[in-house]
Amino acid sequence: MSVPLLKIGAVLSTMAMVTNWMSQTLPSLVGLNGTVSRAGASEKITLFQSPEEGWQLYTSAQAPDGKCICTAVIPAQSTCSRDGRSRELRQLMEKVQNVSQSMEVLELRTYRDLQYVRSMETLMRSLDARLRGADGSLSAKSFQELKDRMTELLPLSLVLEQYKADTRTIVRLREEVRNLSSSLAAIQEEMGAYGYEDLQQRVMALEARLHACAQKLGCGKLTGVSNPITIRAMGSRFGSWMTDTMAPSADSRVWYMDGYYKGRRVLEFRTLGDFIKGQNFIQHLLPQPWAGTGHVVYNGSLFYNKYQSNVVVKYHFRSRSVLVQRSLPGAGYNNTFPYSWGGFSDMDFMVDESGLWAVYTTNQNAGNIVVSRLDPHTLEVMRSWDTGYPKRSAGEAFMICGVLYVTNSHLAGAKVYFAYFTNTSSYEYTDVPFHNQYSHISMLDYNPRERALYTWNNGHQVLYNVTLFHVISTAGDP
């Protein structure tokens, strides 16, 4: 009888735990419920201590995923704070969670013990059946011993029934705790939404300042180039691809020009997705062939260098006609002053935040890079700068915010090595590395609409996001 009695003790011990939980923890739950019901009283939640606490908006830039960033620096004393009611509610939530976990453990133990009690119930019924069928085969002494043992086991039947009832109670309590947790979560959400009008006003004010910040961050200094994003592998080793830098965001057409000389065929894909899949495109046949890969699409027109000349051609896609063409005075052509990779790259056209540019070289400048601002309607040179950097030593170049950035090679290991600032007519040497994944860049151009570098790299069409940096002081801003 020792084993059954030990198990009865274990069962009764488990029941005592349930009783203790009901007598001590359950009243605290009632207290929690009462406390929570008062948490919905009218209490003001303070998000910011004061709008004049030294909030600073400064930077930035371009994240690796291509998004513009404004950074808000918040003083330590201005971090979001709530009243004691919120902390109390959070503590209540933690307590309920702990109680729920304890009940799960208790339920597991109850389930195991219940399985044992049920097996004992089966044993008792078996013994009872044997006793009923063994009246004639047992001696009087043996029969009496079995009968005495059965009598000792009879209390287990009462324990079993009570245990079943207590198990059902535990299940109900667990459901009540679950409901209480849901109620507390709803109250917490309600408290968080209190004072919405005040919060909304402060958020709107912050959004206005961030909007002003974003406007000022239209330009910045190049500080980083992301890892390459390969869009597609298509065409020969040399070529160019681009989107319209002036088109609205809904216009995602892609233009594709394979080869670096004597080409006339331009493919226009409806979307970037179509370009990736090689579908939904139309063909434009240029009236005059191109030279190099320094073409650019700007406000619905293609600007390119006419083959074996220093003529700039403006071809309008919609009308399929040449709107204007003009010679660049003194500009070298036909591989006279190309980039280091050759490929008739004497003339390179670019667009940045301020407009249309041409990068080339003249004999008068002794082979150094010349940057000229062009009128996009007439193609007249508005102003020119002599950068002093030899073009044959440059791998490629691109314009960002009026600054010409030059790479030191078109091969693996290339980096942005030189920057010329047209606003101050000054230059500096830089060290901005970027990963030349396919080891031969024949086209590198910046798109200000997307804040990305478009690259043709050994037959692969590749994108790089850029990081621009600009510190903005908001002191005294309206």
Of the two residues 311 and 245, the one the predictor is more confident about is 311
How far is the CA of 166 from the CAs of 7, 102, 162, 286, 434, in angstroms? 17, 16, 6, 88, 69
pLDDT for res 106: 60
Of the two residues 83 and 79, the one the predictor is more confident about is 83
Question: Is residue 290 a contact partner of residue 308, using CB atoms and an 8 Å limit?
Answer: no
Q: 62, 454, 32, 457: which is closest to 254 by C-alpha?
A: 454
Query: What would the pLDDT profile of 369-405 be if each residue is shown by its tens digit?
Result: 999 999 999 999 999 999 999 999 999 999 999 999 9
The C-alpha angle with vertex 256 and arms to 254 and 261, in degrees rounded to 5, equals: 155
Query: What would the pLDDT profile of 137-170 be if each residue is shown by its tens digit?
Result: 667 777 777 777 777 666 666 666 666 766 676 7
Report the run of H or E that residue 370 belongs to, with start and end.
strand 368-374
CA distance 234 to 413: 23
Asked whether the predicted pLDDT for residue 298 surpasses 90, the reply is: yes
Question: Is residue 85 a contact partner of residue 37, using CB atoms and an 8 Å limit?
Answer: no
- Contacts by 50-53, CB closer than 8 A, 24 or more apart: 50/78, 51/202, 51/205, 53/77, 53/78
pLDDT for res 80: 42
pTM score, two decimals?
0.58
CB atoms within 10 A of CB 25: 17
CA distance 311 to 331: 9
Query: What would the pLDDT profile of 305-322 be if each residue is shown by its tens digit?
Result: 999 999 999 999 999 999
End-to-end CA distance of the chain: 89
Instruction: Say if residue 60 is preceded by a cis peptide, omega within 30 of 0.
Output: yes
**Candidate ranges 70-74, 184-188, 343-347; pick with highest mean pLDDT:** 343-347
Asked whether the predicted pLDDT for residue 2 surpasses 50, the reply is: no
Mention every residue, 6+ apart, whose C-beta is less than 8 A from residue 472: 57, 58, 59, 213, 216, 217
Query: What would the pLDDT profile of 337-362 be if each residue is shown by its tens digit?
Result: 999 999 999 999 999 989 999 999 99
Asked whether the predicted pLDDT for residue 31 surpasses 80, the reply is: no
Question: Is residue 428 a contact partner of residue 195, using CB atoms and an 8 Å limit?
Answer: no
Q: How confident is the model at residue 24 (pLDDT cuts 50, 70, 90)?
A: very low
What would the two tokens of residue 214 be? Answer: 């974003």
pLDDT for res 110: 64
In three-state secondary structure terms, 376 is coil
Mean pLDDT in residue range 88-116: 65
Of the two residues 7 and 192, the one the predictor is more confident about is 192
CA distance 440 to 369: 21
pLDDT for res 17: 45
Tell me the Cα Rg of the chain.
40
Mention every residue, 6+ apart, whose C-beta is less than 8 A from residue 147: 131
Q: 464, 463, 410: which is closest to 232 by C-alpha?
A: 463
Q: Position of tokens 């195991």?
A: 112
**What whole-number percentage of the chain has pLDDT above 90?**
48
pLDDT for res 243: 97
Of the two residues 203 and 265, the one the predictor is more confident about is 265
Asked whether the predicted pLDDT for residue 333 surpasses 80, the reply is: yes
Of the two residues 6 and 474, the one the predictor is more confident about is 474
Mean pLDDT in residue range 217-234: 89
Of the two residues 364 and 114, the one the predictor is more confident about is 364
pLDDT for res 148: 72
**Which residue type does 303 have?**
F
The C-alpha angle with vertex 287 and arms to 281 and 291, in degrees rounded to 5, equals: 90
Which of 68-77, 191-200, 392-401, 445-454 is predicted with the least confidence, judged by mean pLDDT?
68-77
Report the run of H or E that residue 94 belongs to, with start and end.
helix 84-133
Question: Is residue 188 a contact partner of residue 89, using CB atoms and an 8 Å limit?
Answer: yes
| Dihedral sign for Cα atoms in the order 230, 231, 236, 238 | negative
What would the two tokens of residue 19 be? Answer: 């009783």
Q: How confident is the model at residue 16 (pLDDT cuts 50, 70, 90)?
A: very low
Mean pLDDT of the chain, nearest integer: 76
What 3 state SS string does 8-35 have? Answer: HHHHHHHHHHHHHHHHHHHHHHHHHHHH
Q: How confident is the model at residue 26 (pLDDT cuts 50, 70, 90)?
A: very low
pLDDT for res 129: 73
